[in-house]
Amino acid sequence: MPTARNIVRFTVTGSGALAGVANGDPSCHEPNQANYRSAFNGLCMLLVRAGRRPGKIRITASVPGLTSASAVLHVAAS
């Protein structure tokens, strides 16, 4: 939805951690280090930091009343 302003809640589990959130709205005063962000023009962003060990990172985004979505990232050994 190009005009959506829903609050999106994020969870990060596995070999990584939530590093920050953003939405591109210059007038937004929500914290950048939180597990939620309101959408701006239907978009928001999550930054994830990989851990020191290889493994999987599962990211889940949820909004009340909507189906949540998940993605899995693979962290490789360096």
For the chain, which domains are there? 7-75 (2.60.40.10)
Stated pTM of the model: 0.91
- The confidence score (pLDDT) of residue 7 equals 97
- The confidence score (pLDDT) of residue 14 equals 97
The strand pairing partners of 13, in sequence order, are 58
Per-10-residue mean pLDDT of the chain, 78 residues long, equals 93 97 96 97 96 96 97 93
CB burial readout 44-67, b (16+ within 10 A) else e: bebebebeeeeeebebebbeeeee
